[in-house]
Structure 1
């Protein structure tokens, strides 16, 4: 029972971190686009990089909170993120993921998995040292 609480809590906490980072970075980029001469096409790579970093951090935190099976916890964090984004897009705009979005979301899931693996290993190293 304790293990499922760790897994569920880790995934939820990781998702919260991902969405908080996404909101903060969206606010900063929208302010930059509004008050400078930057164009949306010029910050597209930065937005993509921030998305990957946010999912890696979310996977890392969820793996650290879950303390075991980091690949699974990170993968579930990335999958949950992709599912939420898919539902917003499908229910709000009545459109499915296109091929490019599907590739991005598969890569997001893999990135969150890598973060989860590293998060578990870092949390295990701290507990061994103590």
Structure 2
């Protein structure tokens, strides 16, 4: 049986990983955009790919910590991350998700689920003796 405390802690680690990686990559890209002649639209695809990698890594860490039911903990990580971004966007600028953003965050949640499943399998989930 999966413990709620273990799931909660795993999800927190996963979301913290996503936010940390996102902050570091945002910092790097802000320097690139500030000190070079690069325009944001020319690296938009790269930024999207890296954001999916960050979410996958968060799901992977989450699944590795939980050691079981990676799709549940990964999905919870993706949903919590999406909720945090939604609240930031709604309470800050006061806007809701657009349809395009909603699709992105559904894909982020699915990506975190895949990361969670892989994290459980690589971390070595519980061993069952038959």
Q: TM-score range by the shorter chain?
A: over 0.9
Superposed CA offset, 1:48-82 (max 9, x none): 11110000000000000011110000000000000
- TM-score normalized by structure 1? 0.93
**Structure-2 change in CA distance of 1:31 and 1:126 (3 Å):** farther
Superposed CA offset, 1:18-47 (max 9, x none): 000000000000000000010010111111
How far has the Cα of 1:124 moved from its partner? 1.2
- TM-score normalized by structure 2? 0.93
What are structure 1's unaligned runs of at least 5 residues? none
Moved segments of 4+, more than 2 Å: 125-128
Choose between structure 1 and 2: higher helix proportion: 1
**Structure-2 change in CA distance of 1:34 and 1:12 (3 Å):** same
Q: Contact 1:6 / 1:67 at 8 angstroms: preserved in 2?
A: no
Indicate the RMSD between aligned Cα atoms, in angstroms. Answer: 1.8
Q: Contact 2:63 / 2:116 at 8 angstroms: preserved in 1?
A: yes
**Which residue in the other structure is 2:45 paired with?**
45
Number of equivalenced pairs? 128
How far has the Cα of 1:4 moved from its partner? 1.6
